[in-house]
Amino acid sequence: MTERFPILTDTHALERGDQIAPRFDDNGLIAAVATHADTGEVLMFAWMNAEALHLTLTTGQAHYWSRSRGELWLKGATSGQIQQVVETRIDCDQDCVWIKVRPQGDGGACHVGFRSCFYRVVENGRLVEHPD
């Protein structure tokens, strides 16, 4: 599925060019961070394969690859927390994707029920829930 995207070997073209040429890891995955388009809050981290990235770019809805289930998933397909993509960025060496999204449904992103997947803070060596 990576044939959807070119492979650039020229560093200048990769880092400064206008071609989308994501560098997937040995498992065919690229890291993806989703933030709230209006608040900047980090909502979640996930993985994308080439198909998930392609679908995200073409449909305007966030798609990811579930390593635990071994399958493609449309974020919110069952929960209603569809993530409408407002902007997509790729880092300098094209091995990480940042999507700015507007969550639908109840506005959450976490399958545990929190607005963000980062709802715990490390305090004195323990995890403490801070849902704000």
Give pLDDT < 70 ranges for the chain. Answer: 1-3
User: pLDDT of 79-100, one tens digit each?
Assistant: 899 999 999 999 999 999 999 9
CA 47 – CA 31 distance, rounded (Å):
5
Is 92 exposed, middle or buried, given 0-12, 13-18 or 19+ CB atoms closer than 10 A? exposed
pLDDT at 113: 85
pLDDT at 70: 95
pLDDT at 6: 79
pLDDT at 123: 95
**Range 2-10, long-range pairs (CB < 8 A, 24+ positions):** 2/28, 2/50, 3/50, 4/50, 4/51, 4/53, 4/54, 5/50, 5/53, 5/54, 8/94
Q: Where are the domains of the chain?
A: 2-129
pLDDT at 45: 97
Contact 23, 8 (CB under 8 A): no
CATH topology of domain 2-129: Ubiquitin-like (UB roll) (3.10.20)
